Amino acid sequence: MERAARAFWLRSPGFGEIREATLDRPADGEVLVRTLYSGVSRGTETLVFRGEVPESQHTAMRAPFQEGDFPGPVKYGYLNVGVVEEGPSELAGRTVFCLYPHQTRYVVPASAVTPVPDGVPAARAVLAGTVETAVNALWDAAPLIGDRVAVVGAGMVGASVAALLARFPGVRLQLVDADPGRAVLARALGADFALPEDAEGECDLVVHASASEEGLARSLELLAHEGTVVELSWYGDRRVALPLGEAFHARRLTVRSSQVGTVSPARSSRRTYADRLALALDLLADPRFDALVTGETAFEDLPETLPDLASGKLPALCHRVRYQAS
């Protein structure tokens, strides 16, 4: 028996539309999920919307349940929270998170969904994919008690990293951004705020997430001798100049990449992808993360909303999409 669903597709760079979809009845080991909320990350997803995924990265950038190909038509997204309407008894009726695009209902293997803990509201759980990125980054960065740390770039990923670092004892933490309005966000997350020119130096660790050449250069300037920059930004098809002259070598600085597509080598022998996502969902019991959701729109309005998000006309960190019960 086929069931009707509706999905958001990027028809071509800059133009989205809602399409009808049909679903088969879930087989053994599968679940039928009705979406409650999905989330739009203003970083990666708007870059996809603008058609800026380099051809060399088309395979690496595929979302787990993506349909179509870059630059379009493509169904893309990875922050989805819904309720299991049909499936194994241990999941039926449960609220779950899945790395699925924007679609009203969908069928996936039961192993592809993660139950949302009872203490985490479904509306907040859309942040799980981004908090998972932050968890992986901190596994890579390995901050220590008492470290002097800066997070440069108060976007969705940088803010998630700052929210987790704010829990570390004895850490001197600054969230650094060129937008003075981000001071309110920093305060909500429990971090100090600084404009780039005012940030404190001599950092043991800088996490860079501004996706800008200027932010990366400033991150290097903020380091103490033998300090490390963990680079979380993804630049799409843009070239970035890195200042490796002057005192870079004399100060023995390190620039390290971190990417959520693999579990950090620091934990890969003991943690699975499922472990990492479950941890991210547990961490979302903290209401401070609500500050990362900066807007909400109805699913039916996505074709009009995403161009404004991609252009910056509608400023956002995570923009939440709500679905009608049916």
What SS3 class is residue 266? coil
pLDDT tens, position by position, 40-86: 987 789 889 999 898 988 998 899 999 999 999 999 999 999 999 99
Rounded mean pLDDT, 9-14: 96
Angle at 15 between CA 13 and CA 18, to 5 degrees: 125
Judged against a pLDDT cut of 60, whether residue 110 lies above it is answered with yes
Domains of the chain: 3-127+289-322 (3.90.180.10), 130-257 (3.40.50.720)
Rounded mean pLDDT, 81-105: 97
**Tokens 């739009």 label which residue?**
40
Per-residue pLDDT band at 133 (split at 50, 70, 90): very high
Q: What is the DSSP letter of 230?
A: E
Distances (CA, A) of 171 to 40, 44, 277: 31, 29, 25
What SS3 class is residue 154? coil
Please tell me the distance from the alpha carbon of residue 297 to that of residue 180, in angstroms, as a whole number: 26
Q: What is the pLDDT of residue 2?
A: 61
Please tell me the distance from the alpha carbon of residue 175 to that of residue 150, in angstroms, as a whole number: 6
Q: pTM for the complete prediction?
A: 0.92
Q: What is the pLDDT of residue 240?
A: 87
Q: What is the dihedral of CA 221, 198, 212, 262, to 10 degrees?
A: 70
Q: What is the DSSP letter of 104?
A: S
Residue 304: partners with Cβ closer than 8 Å, 6 or more residues away: none
Q: What is the pLDDT of residue 326?
A: 59
Please tell me the distance from the alpha carbon of residue 45 to that of residue 42, in angstroms, as a whole number: 6
Per-residue pLDDT band at 104 (split at 50, 70, 90): very high
Judged against a pLDDT cut of 60, whether residue 1 lies above it is answered with no
pLDDT tens, position by position, 257-294: 998 889 999 999 999 999 999 999 999 999 999 999 99
Please tell me the distance from the alpha carbon of residue 177 to that of residue 196, in angstroms, as a whole number: 6
Q: What is the pLDDT of residue 247?
A: 86
Q: What is the pLDDT of residue 234?
A: 81
Asked whether 132 and 280 are in contact (CB, 8 A), the reply is yes
Judged against a pLDDT cut of 80, whether residue 236 lies above it is answered with no
The number of CA neighbours under 13 Å toward the Cβ of 38 is 28
Longest Cα–Cα distance of the chain, Å, equals: 68
Q: What is the pLDDT of residue 219?
A: 97
Per-residue pLDDT band at 180 (split at 50, 70, 90): very high
Please tell me the distance from the alpha carbon of residue 220 to that of residue 201, in angstroms, as a whole number: 10
What SS3 class is residue 33? strand
> What percentage of the chain carries pLDDT values higher than 90?
87
Q: What is the pLDDT of residue 246?
A: 83
Token code pair at residue 181:
């309005």
The DSSP string of 189-219 is HT-EEE-GGG----EEEEEE-S-SHHHHHHH
Rounded mean pLDDT, 155-170: 96
